[in-house]
Structure 1
Amino acid sequence: MPFINVKQLSGRTDEQNAEISRELTATYARVTGVKPENIWVAIEEIPAKNWSAGGVTFAAKAELAAKAGEQGA
């Protein structure tokens, strides 16, 4: 039984997550021939304060971008 685990930043709607799940399932089924009902998808939403790249959290990056936008206005 295939298991697809998606990790993403928080903020998508329930409808978006449902569409992600449907599309991943459909694509995996089409490519592999596995029945859709046998494909599991888990979507984990991680707060921006708990996810980083280059040692900087995405929350901090958003804050810096907002400040830069304020200064450019």
Structure 2
Amino acid sequence: MPLVEVTLTEGRTAEQIRTLIHELTGAVERAVSAPAANIRVVVREVPPTHWAAGDVTIAERRERQARATDTPGPTDS
């Protein structure tokens, strides 16, 4: 009984999650010839403040990227 576990940050629509489950089930079915009824998929969503890499949370990384995008660059006068 194959089990696929996926962890994502929050923010996807129910339709996106459903599509992910469908696609993962199909991939496992094809890859290991498991019947779809025996395949389990668990999707966990976590807040971006609860996931970090290199001591920087995803929320912090997004905030930094947003500030960098919002910062006007040098202009020609």
TM-score (normalised: structure 2)? 0.89
TM-score (normalised: structure 1)? 0.93
1:32 aligned partner: 32
Q: Distance in 1 between matches of 2:72 and 2:46?
A: 30
Give the alignment's Cα RMSD to 1 decimal: 1.0
Cα offsets for 1:29-67 (capped at 9, x unmatched): 111111001000000001100001111001001111111
Unaligned runs of 5+ in 2: none
Unaligned runs of 5+ in 1: none
Question: Which protein has the bigger helix share?
Answer: 1
- Pair member with larger Rg: 2
Paired residues for 1:31-50 under 5 Å: 31-50=31-50
